[in-house]
Amino acid sequence: MIKFPQSLAVSQLDDELVLLDEKTGKYFGLNPVGSRIFQLLKESGDEAQVVAALSAEYDAPKGQLTADVAAFISTLAERGLIVDDAS
């Protein structure tokens, strides 16, 4: 189950999101696809559900979507923008 820290604030600019990490004061821009993945993660917190939702929206092989979502989550984790809650 993926959760986002309390310190994360979000600003929506058209179809893109900007994330502000209040712990570090850094902010990060997400492109439209990243913003959609972030939104789905925020709604479900489940990587498999995000991939399923994206396969319905984008004309891309499931394997590629799975890899892209995993890479996105890994990038968020590297920057301390998600809390990976195993429970």
Partner 1 sequence: MHPKLRAIRRYNPAVLIELCRLWLILFYVDVRLELLPPRWNREFLFRKERDGAATPGPRTLAKLSKIVILLRTAARFRLRSGSPCLCLSLALRERLAPLGLRASIVYGARKRSDRSKGIDAHAWLVLGEATLDPGGDAISFTAFSKGLTVLFLCRSLVHLYR
Q: Which residues bind partner 1 (CB under 8 A)?
A: 6, 8-14, 16-18, 20, 22-25, 27, 29, 39, 42-43
Least Å distance, CB 79 to partner 1, is 14
Least Å distance, CB 23 to partner 1, is 7
Nearer to partner 1, 2 or 10 (CB): 10
Nearer to partner 1, 13 or 71 (CB): 13
- Find the helix or strand (DSSP H, E) in which 9 lies: strand 8-13
Nearer to partner 1, 21 or 66 (CB): 21
Write 46-53 long-range contacts (CB < 8 A, 24+).
Answer: 46/1, 46/2, 47/2, 47/73
Q: Which two tokens stand for residue 16?
A: 């893109």
- The answer to whether the beta carbons of residues 18 and 29 sit under 8 Å apart is yes
Q: How far apart are CA 46 and CA 28, in angstroms?
A: 22
Least Å distance, CB 61 to partner 1, is 27
